[in-house]
Structure 1
Amino acid sequence: MMLKRIMRVNARQGVRLLSSQNVVEMPPCDYKPPPYKGPTYQDNRQIRKDFLSPVMVPHFTNPLLIHAGHMQWLFDHTGRRYLDLFGGIVTVSLGHCHPKVVAAATEQMNKLWHTTHIYMHPKIHEYAELLTSKLPEHLKVVYFVNSGSEANDLAMMMARLYTGSFDIITFRNSYHGASPYTAGLTAHGTWKYNFANGFGIHHAMNPDPYRGIWGGYRDSPVQSLRAGESEVQDGVCLSSEKYLAQLEEIMMYSLPKGKLAAFFAESIQGVGGAVQYPLGYLKKAFELVKANGGVCISDEVQTGFGRTGEHFWGFEGHGVKPDIVTMAKGIGNGFPLAAVVTTKEISDTLKNALHFNTFGGNPLASAVGISVLEELENENIQQRCQDIGTYFLRTLAELRDEFEIIGDVRGKGLMIGAEMVKDPVTRSPLSPEAMMTIWDLCKDQGVILGRGGYYGNVFRIKPPMCITKEDVDFTINVLRNVLHKVNH
């Protein structure tokens, strides 16, 4: 269902709801969830309040009680269906309860759940060989862990042991985990607490083509409206050189000369709001890191496994070869699984002391991981991300041209962000109250979006990678409907 197109909506006066109640028709789904038999909605809310950590704040003004899932769809306790465009925080890669992954897990559960790798079991060896075959030739040693934070913890330790240096650089606006160790890597005040962290870690200026002071062109089907503030020569955005000078200044003034341990970079920033870098920046940054004795670590926790479409790994889009790659989330389609892959030379440093992870690479996790890799290939998921993601980005860009409240649309494949603003000229972020209004209204019409960015004003669109063109059209029509319903 297409809704009537109107003039660009001015975003400068805040949000007021209109009375229109247009409802967009949802694409069909032949899956029927089983009846819900758990505690009542109110009992669940009370249990959460009484017994779960207060940090676990549910999304939306009226939180969802999710009961079942099937591919790109979630179902609440009443059986109502929602299009999941956040994928369990960029984690459900193939789809909720994917039948092939469920079958692989069930088969392994009936045989052997857990031993730890103090004994040999076939699945961890099969999986290690298959996973490393997806990476460049020099990355051949894998350590299995359970989460992205654990993976980045281990990568930090390996880099420091291998180089004999201590200092690490990450970007402002980055997110690399919330454990006490990785909290120092993360440069996002929303996720910081008042305890000692970040000793030896430095945060470089974020080379953001939309909010950064020099703008720039990025590797995306949709460019920032500020792209024209720079220019591209031989595939390199000239604003990159200015941001690189800021990175080099950290190495000149804040580190012992030539004694950098590591540089961490997400290929596209996830929690930070799908922020990309100017063309050519990351490749030149890696060269600068190498010249200062450091190893280059690519955080593929959100961008790996075909999500960016053009490549299987996000770093490939930058033309770089990292020394260490960390991965999690989509690696297990929602099953707790993560990994660090590196060179033999770097991995050899762990021979000097015992390193062990009780659950890392357990038989069940390995069976799930193998199934995910197989189905990514069988279902041509990477190409789907390229095709559907590009279509999604371009239709969102059309929506940006219609509504001033959408300041920027960016991303690659199905790693997408839409930044909402109060003023498109100053790029002042849309207020939390206005964001919540739009977020809730989209949910009420059957679309679940994520949120991110420092101001919480970026809608994060990172769905299960099985979504269809019809799902995209439905989402665009819901967004248009919702934005028509708010008077600015």
Structure 2
Amino acid sequence: MSLNTLIHRASLPCPDLDPAQAAQLLQAHYGLQGTLQPLGSQQDLNFRVDTPHGRFVLKVCHGDYAQQELEAQHAALEHLHRQGVPVPAVRRANGGEPLLALTIDGQPVRARVLTYIEGQTLTRLPYMAPRLMHALGALCARVDLALADFTHPGLERTLQWDPRHAQAVIAHLLPVLADGPRKVRVQAIAEQARVALEPLLAQLPMQAVHLDITDDNAVWQRDGAREWQLQGVIDFGDLLHTWRIADLSVTCAALLHHVDGDPLRILPAIAAYHALNPLHEAELRALWPMIVARAAVLVLSGEQQVGVDPGNTYSRDNLAHEWQIFEVAAGVPFALMEAAIMQLAGLAPAPLPATGMLLPGLRDQAVARVDLGVLSEHFSTGNWQQPGIDQHLLRTHAAPASTLYAQYRLSQTHIDNPLEPHTCALHVELHLPVDSALVAPFAGTWRHGEQGWACLEGDASSLWLRGVVQSPASGAVIAQGEPLGHATELEVQLCRVAGLQPPNFVAPSRALAWQVLCPSPAALLGFDCDAAPLPDPHALLARRDASFARSQKHYYQQPPHIERGWRNYLIDMQGRSYLDMLNNVAVLGHGHPRMVSESARQWSLLNTNSRFHYAAIAEFSERLLALTPPGMDRVFLVNSGTEANDLAIRLAWAASGGRDMLSVLEAYHGWSVATDAISTSIADNPQALSTRPDWVHPVTAPNTYRGKYRGQDTTADYVRDVDERLAEIGERQLAGFICEPVYGNAGGIPLPAGYLQQVYARVRARGGVCIADEVQVGYGRLGEYFWGFEQQGVVPDIITMAKGMGNGQPLGAVITRREIAEALEAEGYFFSSAGGSPVSCRIGMAVLDVMEEEGLWDNAREVGGYFKARLQALVDKYPLAGAVHGSGFYLGLELVRNAASLEPATEETAALCERLRELGIFMQPTGDYLNILKIKPPMCTTRASVDFFVDSVERVLMQGV
């Protein structure tokens, strides 16, 4: 068949067959009866058929489709099935025929029935995780391996989608586009692809390929963990014998509308294919231009199809995706994608030829290396945010001085932004002796560029320079060693690609590929200007796992390597700033200068234990007591919340003379023997409910959202449960009751109105002590209240506090009344080695000072109120968002699958947290079902950060999790 004939056939609309005719065909020829549902297709007519005998697909195509082509498809299905590839099976007609040739209302058609693979395609999935791209690439490899020895006469055909004919198809279909920039762009990109492919074509191996393993033809289902699992591959209409690499090119092109504009995100698919079915070097080099050519064919074919069949919704919807694919493919240099693909396969670029020196005057001189990376000592208190800070720091060094090539610069970070910052420097900046002479390190042509740049274009590379004075005229031919002018401040960049002016900075995910295109200029500068490589984060994590007890978990399976923080952001080693939405320890924010100066000063003077006599311990204790209700007059200082709660239990035992403690189910209080005993959160300890000692008596969690009793009018019900536990204790002396005044582990749910008033009264009537665990929710974090117990209108006997007291310094406190404190003294003295040290006390007071000076409690109230309102708007809009809990900067967004049953959306919450990390936000789940976003950021968090967080959550909810 000629290409013109093929294109004409491909431009035909779908066969005209209504559901009644299709039902009649099925009954007459297959003995099948059932309901029919049309399925989308560009040229075939497809119906899903639900019958008592199972679910099938009726496929009807034009009669001019060669029977041999369709027989080849059936043979391939049988072949792949034997190879273990999940594919549909052919159901034969009543007479045993696998394929029927019919005439319906005068139109010749061919009909067949295949089994239906349950599941769905991922075509409309807005976000596709790298795992899914990897799986699709692996599927393509499996199919190609299975088809490597498959032959059939029906494979030898001319097909519009065969990349061997791409240029002819593009030339034929280009007139479907109106004259204008879009048409010019398609033609230019297609020509680039042709030039890149031509030298490689004779080296490309050939075989039978599916040629349409795309997001539209792979079928998936979610498993119990809500993970997509592959069910099978469908639609063998493009099966033929062509280049092997064509199959992967089609798969990759289809993925380009899932990459959010970044084509390098398809690399997991290529890596998966190459791992299973290794590609030749020529195939690797051909892959990207073949993808680009495919993109051009897609848009031209789609425009033509919509023109001839404007009522075909499937074709019209696909056209938008096809243009999206083309724009992504056309928006990146060919050389960059080739470099990324070759790197993935472990193939290094050819070295550049030797050159002369650009600055011969620097020969044998010591050049200062100016560190502008994330850990640079030159950066402090956020000064990296100042415009021009890098150049300022460079000038403070005596000439000659140089920045570092391939360093991830802290100054290039950005905040509250879902995109990777462009932090990797592909150039170096030099501070030189005045009017240093420059000479051509290789022969070339001198060109003037934009924004002060000039370029020496050589045979193997181009040298881009900015800051040259008295330079040659543009167009001048320069011999090696000829003068290029003078400079005092100079920017230098190499590039292998002729005609390409590369960016100065690129995103970390693109950095390695760009470094192939823009290698280090060290050789022509004559000194080492390369940044030291960053530690391998995977190797570092392996070292942690090999030495650090693994029960001490880390966030995320592949956590970013964080070594710096500033305000409410954490910064990884590649300069990306992550919004910290879970670090309630750093109430003031990270890297606060007051913490730095206070700790440094006190360390320089004294740090010892609280048995020595120094002023800070008395001053800090007085400050703490001033924050508590009247009657509280004694302070114990410790180093953590666990130690504070453990001590509170000992105080209750000593003051009451009893041992039996009431605690609340689903709560967490610490990891010591005693605090673990009273903690019943199964998220923290899966054995929590079965390992309680007999002195611990958990009461029903007063969770007004999903607890045993729901709603605010449930106080009596929850208090009745307390009465039942007290009855179980009987005549034994009750030691006390410990409870977070706001239900922290559930995301900050307030207790039912009056709950603590009634429970405290019952506990005190039995001689017990009431403990308010404020470790997470206290100290102003709630915004409306400084202490959580104020919300319930009660005063506890013991307050425990830690977390934000020291902004990261190990610091906790137990605050109580004199008689309770002295009850413990009767049993012996208490001592905490680090509790109440001079450094901790000074830092504790500084935290209180900064909270007041910077209005952080007010900020928690005002911005926290705005925050909760924005989250509530998500609840009103998205079914998965079930409820917002808490106040101030202690909030919880609970995710549920069903608003009536409140089925926890555990897996969706985990996926949402992972997506937020990709968007530049740290967030983790909480609650016994791990279905609540536990939102507890530093108290300096701004409205801009709140908007970024909520917008990002909404983005993920819109895309689906």
Quickly name the TM-score band, shorter chain normalised: 0.7 to 0.9
Residue of structure 2 equivalent to 1:289: 763
Residue of structure 2 equivalent to 1:430: 905
Residue of structure 2 equivalent to 1:261: 735
Residues 52-131 of structure 1 mapped to structure 2, 5 A cutoff: 52-87=548-583, 90-114=584-608, 116-131=609-624
Alpha-carbon RMSD across the aligned residues, in angstroms, is: 2.4
Asked if the contact 2:747–2:932 (Cα under 8 Å) also holds between the matched residues in 1, the reply is yes
Match of 2:812 among 338, 345, 359: 338
Cα deviation digits, residues 295-350 of structure 1 (max 9, x gap) = 11000001111001112111111110000000000111111111101000101112
The share of aligned pairs that are identical, in percent, is 32
Residues in 2 aligned to 1:271 and 1:246: alpha-carbon distance in whole angstroms: 20
Displacement of 1:351: 2.1
Asked if the contact 1:117–1:361 (Cα under 8 Å) also holds between the matched residues in 2, the reply is yes
Residues in 1 aligned to 2:555 and 2:783: alpha-carbon distance in whole angstroms: 28
The residue type equivalent to 1:162 in the other structure is A
Question: Secondary structure of 1:418's partner?
Answer: strand
- 1:413 and 2:888 are equivalent in the alignment: yes
Asked if the contact 1:266–1:299 (Cα under 8 Å) also holds between the matched residues in 2, the reply is yes
Residues in 2 aligned to 1:437 and 1:317: alpha-carbon distance in whole angstroms: 34
- 1:198 and 2:198 are equivalent in the alignment: no
Number of equivalent positions? 447
Residue of structure 2 equivalent to 1:185: 678
- 1:154 and 2:647 are equivalent in the alignment: yes
Displacement of 1:378: 1.3
Asked if the contact 2:683–2:930 (Cα under 8 Å) also holds between the matched residues in 1, the reply is no
The residue type equivalent to 2:781 in the other structure is R
Residue of structure 1 equivalent to 2:845: 370
- 1:440 and 2:927 are equivalent in the alignment: no
Structure 2 residues not aligned, in runs of 5+ = 1-221, 229-254, 263-381, 386-409, 412-530
Asked if the contact 1:20–1:485 (Cα under 8 Å) also holds between the matched residues in 2, the reply is no
Displacement of 1:12: 13
Asked if the contact 1:181–1:197 (Cα under 8 Å) also holds between the matched residues in 2, the reply is no
Asked if the contact 1:215–1:239 (Cα under 8 Å) also holds between the matched residues in 2, the reply is yes
Displacement of 1:273: 3.2
Question: Secondary structure of 1:181's partner?
Answer: helix
Residues in 1 aligned to 2:261 and 2:650: alpha-carbon distance in whole angstroms: 54
Asked if the contact 1:258–1:291 (Cα under 8 Å) also holds between the matched residues in 2, the reply is no
Residues in 1 aligned to 2:702 and 2:838: alpha-carbon distance in whole angstroms: 41
Q: Structure 1 268/20 Cα, relative in aligned 2: closer, same or farther at 3 Å?
A: farther
Residues 226-305 of structure 1 mapped to structure 2, 5 A cutoff: 238-252=713-727, 254-257=728-731, 259-305=733-779
Q: Structure 1 36/312 Cα, relative in aligned 2: closer, same or farther at 3 Å?
A: farther
Match of 1:40 among 536, 552, 555: 536
Higher RCO structure, 1 or 2 (CA under 8 Å, sep 6+): 1
Question: Secondary structure of 2:729's partner?
Answer: coil
Q: Structure 1 239/368 Cα, relative in aligned 2: closer, same or farther at 3 Å?
A: same
Question: Secondary structure of 1:190's partner?
Answer: coil
Question: Secondary structure of 1:191's partner?
Answer: coil
Residues in 2 aligned to 1:191 and 1:60: alpha-carbon distance in whole angstroms: 16
Displacement of 1:22: 8.4
Residue of structure 2 equivalent to 1:132: 625
Residue of structure 1 equivalent to 2:204: none
Q: Structure 1 131/61 Cα, relative in aligned 2: closer, same or farther at 3 Å?
A: same
Question: Secondary structure of 2:852's partner?
Answer: helix
Displacement of 1:380: 1.7
Asked if the contact 1:178–1:191 (Cα under 8 Å) also holds between the matched residues in 2, the reply is no
Residue of structure 2 equivalent to 1:483: 957
Displacement of 1:36: 9.3
Residues in 1 aligned to 2:875 and 2:699: alpha-carbon distance in whole angstroms: 30
Q: Structure 1 37/156 Cα, relative in aligned 2: closer, same or farther at 3 Å?
A: farther
Q: Structure 1 453/325 Cα, relative in aligned 2: closer, same or farther at 3 Å?
A: same
Structure 1 residues not aligned, in runs of 5+ = 1-10, 24-28, 218-237
Question: Secondary structure of 1:92's partner?
Answer: coil
Q: Which has the larger radius of gyration?
A: 2
Give the helix-richer structure, 1 or 2: 2
Displacement of 1:408: 1.3
Asked if the contact 1:72–1:467 (Cα under 8 Å) also holds between the matched residues in 2, the reply is yes
Residue of structure 1 equivalent to 2:783: 309
Asked if the contact 2:743–2:751 (Cα under 8 Å) also holds between the matched residues in 1, the reply is no
Asked if the contact 1:12–1:422 (Cα under 8 Å) also holds between the matched residues in 2, the reply is no
TM-score, normalisation: structure 1: 0.87
Question: Secondary structure of 1:189's partner?
Answer: coil
